[in-house]
Amino acid sequence: MKLLVGVDGSESSQRAVAWCAQHAIALDASVIAVHAVQVPVYAFMPDAYAPPVYADVDRDSIREVLREQWCNQLKDANVPFEAHVIDGHPADVIIEAARREQPDLVVIGRRGLGTFKKMLLGSTSHHLAHHLDRTLVIVP
């Protein structure tokens, strides 16, 4: 069995990783941890230009944080896992990773790093609930 978990370092995503660590052993599952590096959207005006800054993002450092910090519960539970850092909007990255990896379950936290803290579902979990073509576990 294979689980795919969306991880962004938030408290909510840490609960999703903990859920995977807790259930992966019983399910005899491996885990694919996915982190999305969002590409900024620029509004171009005739007299202004903002150069893309995301090219300078050190994806190796992010992958190291993903493996060594955000997924430490998986390591502590001796759950086999892979860590992937992918450019794009989080929901789109998770959908594409699910298509490519064919996991049995996709696991995400209810809310991530967005600014609307009082929403019951975050925008990523809401989008995935409507568009993902496989079983989704949303961890509160």
What's the confidence (pLDDT) of residue 39? 66
Contact 44, 98 (CB under 8 A): no
Q: Which residue has the higher pLDDT, 51 or 132?
A: 132
Take residue 53 and report the two structure tokens written for it: 């800054």
How many angstroms separate the CA atoms of 31 and 103, rounded? Answer: 9
- What are the pLDDT digits (tens) for 69-83? 999 999 999 999 999
| Digit-coded pLDDT (tens) for 40-99 | 655 555 555 555 555 556 888 999 999 999 999 999 999 999 999 999 999 999 999 999
Alpha carbon distance 91, 87 (integer Å): 11
Q: Which parts of the chain fold into alpha helices (H)?
A: 11-27, 59-65, 72-76, 90-101, 123-131
pLDDT surpassing 50 at residue 119: no
Q: Among the listed ranges 8-12, 18-22, 56-60, 133-137, which one has the minimum average pLDDT value? A: 56-60
pTM: 0.82
CA separation, residue 101 to residues 28, 34, 56, 91, 96 (Å): 17, 11, 28, 15, 9
- How confident is the model over 106-131, as a mean pLDDT? 73
The reported pLDDT for the residue numbered 124 is 86
One-letter amino acid identity for 112?
G
Handedness of CA 12, 17, 23, 29 (dihedral sign): positive
pLDDT tens digits, residue range 102-114?
999 999 998 755 5
Please report the pLDDT score of residue 80 as a whole number.
97
In the chain, what are the domains?
A: 2-41+48-139 (3.40.50.620)
